[in-house]
Structure 1
């Protein structure tokens, strides 16, 4: 049984080899692919028949029934132009800051192009409405919209509210980013200045410690660098403590003025001093003549009496 199977496989191999040899000699041609003749398509532009067909399907109706208009685009409003400019600038800042040094091309921005496309459609419709109203007025047709007319939108109110909330959130996030950006720049600058100051202080410290180490090791005995440092510090303080001549002259003329705060507070001496207290008891009052006689003690004698005493 096995010999029979082996013989079959050998016969198959022989047949394959024979086919390959016949194909190499050109006796066998490929028959799987059939060549198809190319037929050139002819396009006919029968203008006469097209015009006949057009007259058959054309409806000669008045313009009021068709309301077809061919108009130009209405002029762009200034506020819309400003909004488009701000949108382009905002998109440019967003793209360049998020993706690195990439040149922003507004013509390739899908968001900006979509906004421009919608604006063009709106302006086209606006121009058509203006022209249509003008023609209807010439024909004497009333154009007032009825009070019970409601235009149905393609999107529901809920969907438009979601879109509005999303746009407001994006706008708030963008404004927040623009406010935070200068603060971040200021922090970076302050950090850079702080690092530079620390490096400068470290360099000065190193410059001072190097000669000090040499003195400690006995390689040098000159300590003038310490005097130089003291001189620098004292020079800086002297500039701050210096008083102008004008201030000095005023201090000499008027004085410092002394302590002002708490000058009217009671002290131990002022509390025990009873002079001038209840002076009314020492006075004799004559209510009829309305005169006040006061008793004077240790009154100084007159000039004649003093001369006689001498």
Structure 2
């Protein structure tokens, strides 16, 4: 046998007999691989479930050991999630109810929950830092109040200027209207000046004649004056009365 035939035979791939077409074989291999993956996932899920169950059942039976409370009051139906102040207020009310219930449970179990009078708890922040924080808060508060006061004074001045300007406008309007009314009155009165003068003269003459008529007295009226006819008599002197 030639040498090249032996080399060619060595390079030929080994022939493997398959049960079915290559496509069917690939599908079987894929199904087998998926089955292995599913079994592995199932084992992992079972392991996680066992861990969860162990955590759930590892809680202590006594409430004092757990001190976990769930609020029995549900949230209001009309609560808006975007309304932060209202939402926080509802949370605070729920927390207060839970705290009250927890205190009652502690008292029933005879567990002390009040802090002793001689108990000293070290704060996370020292007094110096807390003093600086309090001073910063006071400064910020004073600054805000000063800004509000300046803004109020500015608004008050602005309002005063507006009121003064409105008052000046009202005065100018009143003066203008009065000037127009006086002009209109003079225009209407211009044609009646002569008639008014005639009437005024007639009234003056009538008044003068009335005064003159009032001054004229009849003889009878003259005789009715005190003292009778001829005027008042001379009263007798004191000596004459003594002589009588």
TM-score, scaled relative to structure 2: 0.41
Query: Whose radius of gyration is greater, 1 or 2?
Result: 2
TM-score, scaled relative to structure 1: 0.34
